[in-house]
Amino acid sequence: AQSVTQLGSHVSVSEGALVLLRCNYSSSVPPYLFWYVQYPNQGLQLLLKYTSAATLVKGINGFEAEFKKSETSFHLTKPSAHMSDAAEYFCAVRGYSGGGADGLTFGKGTHLIIQP
């Protein structure tokens, strides 16, 4: 079984500052990991994914994440926050069971607030 823990339900940063959103996972098999963003009244949009290739993954809108197996972490970063980054961010993990690839298991989400 897989699970995800996102540390911090709310994170506030100043515009132009570093964004760091934390995600730790638990998986009994090598995981596939994802970050999604959700804007108000919209569905989830994929930011980036880790599928066992490079451990440093670059995504859209300047975001990137690093897979660290020893720490079971997949933290999301962006060097310089923009007002348009204000949204809800979800970390998710996907594993395998007997029937093939499982659905995504999501964390509880982190609400990113950008201060002007």
Partner 1 sequence: EAGVAQSPRYKIIEKRQSVAFWCNPISGHATLYWYQQILGQGPKLLIQFQNNGVVDDSQLPKDRFSAERLKGVDSTLKIQPAKLEDSAVYLCASSFSGPGELFFGEGSRLTVL
- Judged by the rule CB under 8 A, the positions of this chain that interact with partner 1 are 32, 34, 36, 41-46, 49, 51, 90, 92, 94, 96-97, 99-109
Cβ atoms of 23 and 76 within 8 Å: the answer is yes
Phi-psi region of 20 (alpha: psi -120 to 50; beta: other; left: phi over 0): beta
Nearer to partner 1 by Cβ, of 34 and 63: the residue is 34
DSSP state of 12: E
Q: Measured from the CB of residue 16, what is the shortest distance to partner 1 in angstroms?
A: 28
* R_g of the chain, CA atoms, integer Å: 14
Work out the number of other CB atoms within 10 angstroms of the CB of residue 42.
10
Nearer to partner 1 by Cβ, of 3 and 80: the residue is 3
Tally helices (H) and strands (E) across the chain. 0, 13
Q: Measured from the CB of residue 68, what is the shortest distance to partner 1 in angstroms?
A: 19
Nearer to partner 1 by Cβ, of 93 and 114: the residue is 93
Q: Measured from the CB of residue 54, what is the shortest distance to partner 1 in angstroms?
A: 16
Nearer to partner 1 by Cβ, of 2 and 73: the residue is 2
Q: Measured from the CB of residue 9, what is the shortest distance to partner 1 in angstroms?
A: 8
Task: Let me know how long the chain is.
Answer: 116
